[in-house]
C-alpha cells in the first residue's frame, strides 16, 4: 500500500471519526432534548397532578361540606318530621278536644233543654197544683159553710126538744133526768123516753154524713163496776132504739162511762140527777176531724 492508500485510510479514519463525533453529538443532543422534553413533561405532569390533587382536595372539601349540609338537612328534616308529627298529634288531640267539647256542649244543651222543659212542666204542675189547691180550699170552705149551716139547722131543731150545744166537733144533746129517766137499776126505755127519741130520729133522718155517738153516764151511788155496766146498757138501749127506727147502725157508736165523768160536782140529789144522763153526739164526717169524739163536752 502506498502513501496514497495510507492517506486514504487516514482520511477514511478521520472521516469515520468525524461521523462518529457527529453521531455522538447528535445522540447527545437528542438525549438532551429528550431529557428536556421529559423534564418539561414531568414538570407539566407534576403541575397537572398538583392541580388535580388540589381539585381533589377541593372536591373532598366540597364533599365534606355537602355531607355536613346533608347531615344538617337530614337533622332539620328529622326535626321537621318530629315537629310535623307533634303538630299532627296536637292537631288530632285538638280535633278530639273539639269533638269532645262539641259533644259536651251538645249534651249540656240537651240537658239544659230537658231542664227547661222539666222546669216548665214543674211550673205547670205547680200552677195546676196551686189551682187545684185553691179549688180544694174553695170547695172545702164551701163544704164547711154548708156543713156549718146544716149543723146550725140541726142545732136549732134539736134545741127545741132537748138541751143541745155546739162544740168544736159538732153537736151534743144532753138527755138528763129532766128529759130522760130510767127506772132504778134498769136500762129499759120508758114511753116518754121513746117519744123524745122518736123526735130525735125524725130530725136525724133529714141529715146525711154524720156520725152518732151515744154515751151513758151515772151518778156516784154504787161501785165503779156496777155503774160502768149500767151506763153501757143504757147507752146500748138508746142506740138500739135509733137503729130500730131507721138510723144506719154503722154510723152509731155507744159507750158507757159510769160515774167517771160527772158534769156537776157533789153528792146532792140535784147533782146526782144532773149526772145521770145519756149524751148523743153528732159529728160531721165530711169534715175530717182528728180529735176523738169522746172529747165532746
The 10s digit of each residue's pLDDT in 214-250 is 999 999 999 999 999 999 999 999 999 999 999 999 9
Q: Are 265 and 208 in contact (CB under 8 A)?
A: no
Confidence check: pLDDT of 288 > 70:
no
pLDDT of residue 207: 87
Q: CA 294, CA 276: separation in Å to the nearest integer?
A: 17
Q: Are residues 129 and 192 in the same domain?
A: no
pLDDT at position 51: 74
Which runs of consecutive H residues, i.e. helices, occur in 160-268? 191-204, 224-244
Q: Are residues 136 and 185 in the same domain?
A: no
Evaluate if residue 50 carries a pLDDT over 90.
no
According to the model, what pLDDT value does residue 290 have?
42
Domain holding 258: CATH number?
A: 3.30.1330.60
Q: For residues 124 and 15, state if they share a domain.
A: yes
pLDDT mean over 193-197? 93
The whole domain housing 195 covers 161-295
Together in a domain, 105 and 166:
no
Q: Are strands 210-217 and 252-256 parallel, antiparallel or unpaired?
A: parallel
Environment class of residue 143 by beta-carbon count within 10 Å: exposed (0-12), middle (13-18) or buried (19+)? middle
Is the pLDDT score of 62 beyond 50? yes
- Residue 280: is its pLDDT beyond 90? yes
**Structure confidence at residue 164 as a pLDDT band (50, 70, 90):** very high
Region 16-39 average pLDDT? 73
Q: Whose CA is closest to 280, among 177, 202, 204, 171?
A: 171
- 116 and 4 assigned to the same domain: yes
What's the pLDDT at 59?
A: 63
Quick one: DSSP state of residue 164?
A: E
Q: Quick one: cell of 292?
A: 176523738
Helix (H, G, I), strand (E, B) or coil at 219: coil
Higher-pLDDT residue of 37, 209: 209
Residues 177 and 215 in one domain: yes
Amino acid at each position: 500500500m502506498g502513501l496514497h492508500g495510507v492517506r486514504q485510510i487516514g482520511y477514511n479514519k478521520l472521516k469515520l471519526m468525524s461521523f462518529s463525533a457527529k453521531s455522538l453529538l447528535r445522540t447527545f443532543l437528542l438525549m438532551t432534548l429528550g431529557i428536556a422534553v421529559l423534564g418539561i413533561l414531568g414538570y407539566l405532569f407534576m403541575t397537572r397532578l398538583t392541580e388535580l390533587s388540589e381539585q381533589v382536595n377541593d372536591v373532598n372539601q366540597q364533599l365534606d361540606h355537602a355531607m355536613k349540609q346533608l347531615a344538617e338537612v337530614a337533622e332539620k328534616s328529622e326535626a321537621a318530621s318530629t315537629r310535623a308529627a307533634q303538630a299532627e298529634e296536637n292537631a288530632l288531640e285538638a280535633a278530639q278536644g273539639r269533638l269532645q267539647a262539641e259533644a259536651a256542649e251538645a249534651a249540656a244543651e240537651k240537658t239544659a233543654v230537658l231542664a227547661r222543659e222539666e222546669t216548665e212542666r214543674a211550673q205547670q204542675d205547680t200552677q195546676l197544683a196551686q189551682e187545684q189547691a185553691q179549688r180544694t180550699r174553695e170547695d172545702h170552705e164551701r163544704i164547711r159553710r154548708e156543713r156549718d149551716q146544716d149543723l146550725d139547722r140541726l142545732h136549732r131543731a134539736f134545741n127545741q126538744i132537748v138541751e143541745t150545744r155546739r162544740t168544736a166537733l159538732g153537736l151534743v144533746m144532753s138527755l138528763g133526768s129532766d128529759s130522760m129517766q130510767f127506772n132504778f137499776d134498769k136500762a129499759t126505755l120508758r114511753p116518754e123516753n121513746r117519744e123524745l127519741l122518736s123526735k130525735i130520729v125524725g130530725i136525724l133522718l133529714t141529715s146525711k154524713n154524720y156520725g152518732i155517738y151515744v154515751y151513758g153516764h151515772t151518778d156516784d151511788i154504787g161501785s165503779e163496776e156496777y155503774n160502768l155496766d149500767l151506763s153501757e146498757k143504757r147507752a146500748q138501749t138508746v142506740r138500739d132504739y135509733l137503729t130500730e127506727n131507721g138510723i144506719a147502725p154503722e154510723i152509731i157508736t155507744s159507750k158507757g162511762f159510769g160515774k167517771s165523768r160527772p158534769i156537776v160536782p157533789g153528792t146532792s140529789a140535784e147533782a146526782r140527777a144532773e149526772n145521770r144522763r145519756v149524751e148523743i153526739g153528732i159529728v160531721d164526717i165530711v169534715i175530717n176531724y182528728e180529735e176523738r169524739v169522746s172529747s165532746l163536752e
